[in-house]
Amino acid sequence: MKSILLTIIFLVFCGGLYYASKQKWGIESNVPEGVKVLNEIEKTGVPQFELEDLTGKKVKLKDYADKVVLINFWASWCEPCVDEFPTLIKLIKHFKGEMVLLAVSADYTESDMKNFIKAFDIDDPFIKVMWDKDKTVATSFGTKILPETYVLGHNLKLERKIIGVDQWFSTEALEFFQAIIDAQ
């Protein structure tokens, strides 16, 4: 009995030392906020959101649980965003309804976003362009760098997070997305 009590006291003591050392050296506080958010997304799922598209219709992420979803955070003033946007559109059109693009703009004004979009053929029911006026959606995803894209599989499961420009219509990308679609 005495040895059990000593073992418990020893374990509590060691646990206290471990906790104190984490606090003293700030181990938890050194983790970047974006990593914390991504860890939380992996545990609990992607943040749900609702924004209006260009026509004023409410777009809810949860309505696309049966599709592969790309959530692309972008802005018209972001040169890399401008470069990759045409390949995102081409990718969505290629998969003819198997995927949806939720393009969430971080533009300063709604007119900047709308003027940018006029240059592209987005007449597709699976391309939704929305303005995140107060950046609450981007913040909920931990987005700080544009472009940033979240690839969600069926049931809105996070498959991949991509920071920066990607070649969305490459052979490798098409194979990757086909595999996600087929995994249904």
Q: What is the pLDDT along the chain (184 residues), one digit of tens a residue?
A: 555 544 455 444 545 545 555 555 555 567 777 778 778 888 888 999 999 999 999 999 999 999 999 999 999 999 999 999 999 999 999 999 999 999 999 999 999 999 999 988 788 999 999 999 999 999 999 998 999 999 999 899 999 999 999 999 999 999 999 999 999 7
How far is the C-alpha of 110 from the C-alpha of 46, rounded, in Å?
A: 25
23 and 52 part of one domain: no
Residue 119: which of 129, 109, 104 has the closest Cα? Answer: 129
Please count the structural domains in the chain: 2
25 and 39 part of one domain: no
83 and 8 part of one domain: no
Residue 48: which of 76, 74, 69, 75 has the closest Cα? Answer: 69
22 and 92 part of one domain: no
Containing structural domain, residue 113 = 32-182
43 and 130 part of one domain: yes
Which residue shows structure tokens 């050392």? 21
At position 101, the amino acid (one-letter code) is L
116 and 98 part of one domain: yes
Q: What predicted TM-score, i.e. pTM, was given to this entire model?
A: 0.81
Long-range contacts of 90-97 (CB under 8 A, 24+ apart): 90/168, 90/169, 91/168, 91/169, 91/173, 91/174, 91/177, 92/124, 92/126, 92/127, 93/124, 94/169, 94/174, 95/68, 95/177, 95/181, 97/67, 97/125, 97/126
Does the N-terminal peptide bond of residue 147 adopt cis geometry, omega within 30 degrees of 0?
A: yes
At position 23, the amino acid (one-letter code) is Q
73 and 23 part of one domain: no
Which residue shows structure tokens 């949860």? 62
